[in-house]
């Protein structure tokens, strides 16, 4: 979603979300055949536009341990913003968080990682490692290896606006897994 912006503009502008932009039409990536049909007729006189909408996406992440499920959830979030396999591990970032229960711990953990991207650093990890989860004090420590987001090196996905508590789940029955809805 969203239009393409010239490269010399700042990353923050380039990362304007699809929700924030009014658009006259959707980009449908038409086939040649579809374009040919359109070309046969004069364009329609459209007196409408698409305005703000809220959108969200649900992340489902899992692992052999809860630590791995939390790591994978961070990577799922960043993987929505860019192809994390194009990110090189040149910088190291540490993220700590705490909560009053496991769900709030997961929320704050993801929120702290999102902050590393949105607060001018534009940091995107290639890999995240959870060093420990303290289930008594609801604390977590993690480390990530990655680099600053930059165009055109990294493909532009959709910026994640916020983490939500909506339908958030942490399941540890068989394999540890988490479900988180993020606003985009």
Q: What is the pLDDT of residues 137-148, one digit of tens each?
A: 999 999 999 999
Rounded Cα distance between 136 and 102, Å, is 9
Q: What is the pLDDT of residues 108-155, one digit of tens each?
A: 999 999 999 998 789 999 999 999 999 999 999 999 999 999 988 999
Delineate the domains of the chain, giving CATH numbers in brackets: 56-183 (3.55.10.10)
Q: pLDDT category, 23, cuts 50, 70, 90?
A: low
CA distances from 70 to 6, 38, 113, 115, 166 (A): 36, 47, 11, 16, 17
Rounded Cα distance between 181 and 184, Å, is 10
Query: Of residues 53 and 166, which shows the higher confidence score?
Result: 166
Is residue 78 within 8 A of residue 156, CB to CB? The reply is no
What is the pLDDT at residue 46?
79
What is the pLDDT at residue 52?
67
What is the pLDDT at residue 125?
97
* Whole-number average pLDDT of the chain: 87
What is the pLDDT at residue 47?
80
Which range has the worst mean pLDDT, 24-38, 72-86, 109-123?
24-38
């Amino acid at each position: 979603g969203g239009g393409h912006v010239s490269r010399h503009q700042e990353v923050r502008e380039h990362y304007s979300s699809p929700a924030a932009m009014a658009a006259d039409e959707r980009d449908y990536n038409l086939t040649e055949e579809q374009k040919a049909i359109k070309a046969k007729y004069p364009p329609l006189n459209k007196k409408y536009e698409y305005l703000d909408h809220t959108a969200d996406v649900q992340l489902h992440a899992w692992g052999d341990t809860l630590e791995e499920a939390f790591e994978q959830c961070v990577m799922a979030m960043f993987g929505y913003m860019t192809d994390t396999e194009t990110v090189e591990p040149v910088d190291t970032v540490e993220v700590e968080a705490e909560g009053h229960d496991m769900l709030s711990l997961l929320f704050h953990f993801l929120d702290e990682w999102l902050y590393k991207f949105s607060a001018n650093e534009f940091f995107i990890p290639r890999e995240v490692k959870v060093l420990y989860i303290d289930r008594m004090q609801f604390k977590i420590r993690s480390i990530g290896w990655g680099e600053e987001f930059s165009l055109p090196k990294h493909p532009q996905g959709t910026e994640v606006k916020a983490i939500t508590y909506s339908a958030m789940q942490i399941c540890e029955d068989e394999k540890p897994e988490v479900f988180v809805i993020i606003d985009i």
